[in-house]
Structure 1
Amino acid sequence: MNKFFKLSLILLGFGSCKAQNTTSKVNKNQPNIVYILADDLGIGDVSGLNPEAKVNTPNIDKLISNGMTFTDAHTTSSVCTPSRYSIVTGEYSWRTKLKARVLDGYSKALIEDTKDTAPKLLQRKGYQTAMIGKWHLGWNWELKVEENLEMDAKNPYQFKNDISKKVDYSKPFKGGPTDNGFDYFFGLNASLDFPPYVYSENNKLILIPTETMKGDGRNKDFPGGRKKDLVGGQKLKRKGDKAPGFKAEQVMLDLTNKSVDYISKSSEEKPFFLYIPLTAPHTPVYPRDEFLGKSKAGIYGDFIQELDWTVGQIVTALKEKGIEDNTIIIFTADNGASKASFPVEFESKYNHKPSAYLKGRKASLNQGGHTVPFIVQWKNEVKPNTKNNTAITLGDLYATCADLLNVKTDKNQGVDSYSILSLLKGKDNYSRKASVYTDFAGRFSIRKGDWKLDLNKFDKKNSLINIKEDPSETNNLFQDEAYADKKKELTSTLNDIILNGRSTDGEKLENDGPKVWKELFWLKNKKKK
C-alpha cells in the first residue's frame, strides 16, 4: 500500500506538471495577433457587409459572425503608403517629409530608425513578429557605386530618375521590415504593379532580378482609344526588373502558403504577431484560374473570392494548430476600392458597388476612399456577431497593443494612436476626439463627432457634411452661413492636430520638413496676412 501510495503521488505530480506546462503555452494575457490587410477593398466588397454584393466572401463573413464589426472604421489616408505607415507607427504619415503621394519599389525608407513601431513594442514583450506580404514603406537599396542621386521634387523619398541599373541586388537592404520590428519578413517591397518583381526574405532578395517584366495595361490600339480599355487597365503593371520564374498570378498563393507555414511552425512557448498585407484586389487583377468566373463581378470579384479563400486558409491553420481561441484575428484594408481595379463603369455592368452607399473611391477624401471593413475575432473575449459604431482608425494598432500588454510607451511615440481595447471588450473608453484623413494629393479632411470637413484651395470643392445624417455626402453645407461656427471649430481642431505634432496628449512636437507646407493652403494664406 505504501509503495502504491508513493507511485500515485508521483503520477499525480507528473500530471500536475504536465497541465502546468500546457497552461503556460497559452497565456491569455498575451494572445497571438494575426493582422490581415487587403489591398484596395471597399466595404461593399464583403458579402457579409453588403447583401447586394456580387461577390461571395464566406470566410470573411464567418469572422463577422464570430466577432465584432466596426461600421465606422477608417484609414488615415485613402492611398497605400501613408495608410500603412500609420498602421505600423501609430502616427500620420504627413508628420514625416512625405506630405503627399506614395512610394515606389526603389524609394528610400520612410520609417526613421528612431521611430517606435507596433512590432517593436510587441518584440519587447517577448512576441515573435513576422510580416508576410507587401511592405510599401520603402527601404534603402545598396548601390553599386556610392553617389548622391537627385530626389523627386514632389516626393523626398523617391529618386528623380530610374536607379534600377545602379542597385546592387546581391547586397542586403536597410530600413525594411526587419529593421522596424519584424523578426521575419517574406514578401514584396511595393505594390505588385511596381518593379522590381522579386521576393525578399528578411533583408535580402531571394533571387537576383535578371529578367524584364513586360508591362501591361491599357492598349493604345483599343477600339475607341486607350481610355476605353477598362479590362486592360485592371491588368496594369509597369515594365521593370524581374526575378527568374516570378509570376504575378502566383503571388496570392505564395503569400497564403507562407502564412500558413509560419503559423504551423510557430513556437508554442511564445506568442506571435503575424502581419499579412496581401496584394488583392489591387492591380494587376490576376485571380488564379480556379477562381475565374466564381463571382458575378468579373475578374475583380473573382480576385476578391481568392482573397477570401486566403483568409479561410489562415483561419484553418490557426484551428489546426489549436490556437484559434487565443488569437486576435483582424481583417481590414489599407483604403477603399480602386477605380483601376474595378472601373466605375463596371458598377452598372455588374450591378456591384465596392463602396456600397458611400461616395468616392481610393485616393479621394470622400468616405468611400478611406472607410474600410474592420472585423475582429477574439474568441472568449469579443462578443460574437456584434457591431460597434465608433469612428476608429487603422492607426490605433500601436496604442491597442500597448494597452493590451499594459506597456507604458514613450510619450513621443504613437502620437496619433488610441487604444480600441475597451471597445473590443464591450466598453467605451475610446478617447479619440477627432480623426484626420488625407488623399493622394495630400489634401486634408477632419472628422469630429458627426461632422466632416474637407478642405480644398478651390473654394467650390470644399465640403462640410453631417456624416450621421448624410453618410452618402449628398448635402454639402460648406457655403451655408448657419454652419460658420462649425467650420471654424473643425478648422481650429485640425490646426492644433497638425501644428502640435500630435493628436494625443503630451508635449508639443515638431513635424519633419516645413512647419507649413503647400497642402496647408489656409495656413499659408494666414501666414502671408
Structure 2
Amino acid sequence: MTLLPQRLSHLLLSTFALISTGLLITAWVEKPAPATPNVVLFFMDDMGYGDLSVTGALDYTTPNLDRLAADGSRFTNFLVAQAVCSASRAALMTGCYPNRLGISGALGPNSPIGLNPNEETLADLLKEKGYATGIFGKWHLGDKQAFLPLQQGFDEYYGVPYSHDMWPQHPTVKFPPLHWIEGNEPKGEIKNLDDASHITSTVTEKAVSFIRKHKKDPFFLYVPHPLPHVPLAVSDKFKGKTARGLFGDVMTELDWSIGQILGELKQQGLDKNTLVIFISDNGPWLNYGDHAGSAGGFREGKGTSFEGGHRVPCLVRWPGVVPAGRVSNKLLTTMDILPTVAKICGARLPKQRIDGVDWLALLKGDETVTPRDHFYYYYRKNSLEAVRQGDWKLVFGHPGRTYEGFLPGQNGKPGPSTETHEFPKALYDLRRDPSERYDVLEQHPEIVAKLEKIAEEARTDLGDDIQQRTGANVREPGQVTN
C-alpha cells in the first residue's frame, strides 16, 4: 500500500521535470540571444587625448566615460588616419587611408566631391547582414544628396552635413545657411548660438529613439557628435557648471549624452550584447585656447602629423568579451575598426582594397598579438609627412601647421598659427619620448633606413605630393557636376 503512492510521486515529479525542461527549451528557442551584437560607435569632434578625466582633464569630470573605461578596455596608442574632419571620417567609414579615396582636408558646403558611393562603408556591410543602421550627428563626407548617409548604407540620418562653424556666423568666411538634415532633406536652420546649444541634446534624443525603435533587431548606431568643435554651445542645464568654463560645460554635457545612450541600452536589456566604441576624429584645435581641448602632453594638435593631432582616446566595452579595466598600448587606428567589427558581426570585407587590420584577438585580451606593424602619416592633399613602425617615428621635412610660439585665442576667437612652418627631418623614439622633443636621427641610421623603405612602399602605393609622385592604387572620390 505504501509503494504505489511513492512510485506515483516519482512519476509525477519526473513528468513535471520533463514538462518544465520542455518549457524552458521552448522559451529559449522562441527568444534566442541575438547571434551578433549591436554596435554603438561614438565619434567626437576635435576632442583631444587629454579631454577625459580618465586621461587627465582638470576642472570638470566625465564620469560616464570614466565608467565606460572601467567597464571595458582603454587603448592608449590609437591613431586617426588623418588629423582633420572629412579625411578622418572617410577612413573610419571605409577602413582606408583617406588619400587612397581622394578625400583630404575638410569638405566645405556645396563641395563637388564627396565619399564615392561606390566605396563600401561599415554601414553598407552591416546593413547587408540585416542590421538597422542609423547616424545622428555630423556627417562631413559631402553634402550633395549623392554623398549623404542614406546613399552610403544608412537607413536613418538626422544631423548636420559638415562642421557647424560652416555657417553665416563664421567671422571670416561667407558660408550658406546651416541646416539640420533628416534623411536627404533640410529640416530646420541652425542660425545662432542659441540654436547650436540644442545640438548635443538633439543628437542624444535621436540616438535614444533609434535604440527604442530597433531594440528587437540587431543595429549599428553611429553617433558622431558635432561638439566640442567650435563654436562651443551648451544647453542651459549645463551652462556655468564647471570651473573650466564653457569647454568644460560642453564636455560635461557630452558625457551626459554618452550616459543617456548607454543607460538606454541597459534599460532595454541590450547593454550586455552591445559593442560600444568611443573615439575622436582628431586632436584639439589648439589656437582656440580656452575653447579648445588638451592634447594630453603630446606635441601639436589638429591638422598636424605629430601625435597631438593623431592620437585620441579609444574606449571599448563589450561585457563578457572585452576585458574590463584593461589598458593596452598596442598601435591601432580608426581604419582597423571596419575589419574588426565586420568580423565580429559576420559581415564580409569590402571588395576593394582596404588598409585596416583585424584586431579582434587583441580586443578580447590577447596581448601577445600585434595587429598593426606600421602607419603612414599623410596630410594636406596627399603629402607623406611621417611614417611609424612600432615605437619609432620618422618625420620627413615638410611645411605644416604649428601652434607653438603663438598665444592662443580666448572666448571663441582663434589665436594666430601658421600653415607654413618648415619642420626638419627627424627621428623620434615614442617609447621614451612620446612628446616628440628629442631628435635621435643621427644615433640610429639603421632605423632610419628601415623606415625609409616603408615610406618608399607608401609612395609607390599612395603617392606623395612632396616628391610629386602619383600612387598606383588611389581611387577617385565621388563627383557631381551641378
- In which range does the TM-score fall when normalised by the shorter chain? 0.7 to 0.9
Q: Specify the alignment match of 1:416 in structure 2.
A: 355
Find the partner of 2:28 among 3, 15, 19.
Answer: 19
Find the partner of 1:57 among 62, 65, 76.
Answer: 62
Q: Specify the alignment match of 1:231 in structure 2.
A: none
> Larger deviation: 6-15 or 305-314?
6-15
SS in 2 for 1:206: strand
Distance 1:182 1:364 in 2: 31
1:181 aligns with 2:153: yes
User: 1:316 and 1:46, CA in 2 relative to 1: closer, same or farther beyond 3 A?
Assistant: same
| TM-score between the two structures when normalised by the length of structure 2 | 0.82
Distance 2:457 2:393 in 1: 16
User: 1:187 and 1:520, CA in 2 relative to 1: closer, same or farther beyond 3 A?
Assistant: farther
| TM-score between the two structures when normalised by the length of structure 1 | 0.75
- Give, in angstroms, the shift of residue 110 of structure 1: 2.1
> Larger deviation: 129-138 or 187-196?
187-196
Q: Specify the alignment match of 1:239 in structure 2.
A: none
Once the two structures are superposed, residues 269-319 of structure 1 have per-residue CA deviations (whole angstroms, 9 ceiling, x without a partner) of x31110000011101111222212222222111111111111110110101
Q: Specify the alignment match of 1:435 in structure 2.
A: 375
- What RMSD, in angstroms, separates the aligned Cα atoms of the two structures? 2.7
Distance 1:258 1:407 in 2: 26
Distance 2:370 2:149 in 1: 29
Distance 1:188 1:468 in 2: 39
- Give, in angstroms, the shift of residue 9 of structure 1: 7.2
1:290 aligns with 2:224: no
SS in 1 for 2:197: helix
Q: Specify the alignment match of 1:339 in structure 2.
A: 286
- Give, in angstroms, the shift of residue 440 of structure 1: 4.9
Distance 1:121 1:498 in 2: 29
1:85 aligns with 2:90: yes
| Contact 1:105-1:136 at 8 Å conserved across structures | no
Unaligned runs of 5+ in 1: 141-172, 215-234, 236-245, 348-352, 502-515, 525-529
SS in 2 for 1:362: coil
1:488 aligns with 2:449: yes
Over the matched positions of the two proteins, sequence identity in percent amounts to 30
| Contact 2:331-2:373 at 8 Å conserved across structures | no
Q: Specify the alignment match of 2:165 in structure 1.
A: 193
1:477 aligns with 2:440: yes
User: 1:8 and 1:71, CA in 2 relative to 1: closer, same or farther beyond 3 A?
Assistant: closer
User: 1:450 and 1:68, CA in 2 relative to 1: closer, same or farther beyond 3 A?
Assistant: same
1:236-255 equivalences under 5 Å are: 247-255=195-203
SS in 2 for 1:303: helix
What letter corresponds to residue 85 of structure 1 in structure 2?
A
1:251-400 equivalences under 5 Å are: 251-268=199-216, 270-343=217-290, 354-400=294-340
Distance 2:396 2:154 in 1: 37
User: 1:425 and 1:12, CA in 2 relative to 1: closer, same or farther beyond 3 A?
Assistant: closer
User: 1:406 and 1:499, CA in 2 relative to 1: closer, same or farther beyond 3 A?
Assistant: farther
1 or 2, which has the higher strand percentage?
2
Q: Specify the alignment match of 1:106 in structure 2.
A: 110
1:75 aligns with 2:80: yes
| Contact 1:121-1:402 at 8 Å conserved across structures | yes
1:128-167 equivalences under 5 Å are: 128-140=132-144
Distance 1:316 1:406 in 2: 27
- Give, in angstroms, the shift of residue 451 of structure 1: 0.7
What letter corresponds to residue 323 of structure 1 in structure 2?
L
Distance 1:12 1:423 in 2: 39
Unaligned runs of 5+ in 2: 1-7, 168-176, 400-421, 471-482
What letter corresponds to residue 176 of structure 1 in structure 2?
L
| Contact 1:438-1:445 at 8 Å conserved across structures | yes
| Contact 1:284-1:341 at 8 Å conserved across structures | no
- Give, in angstroms, the shift of residue 176 of structure 1: 1.1
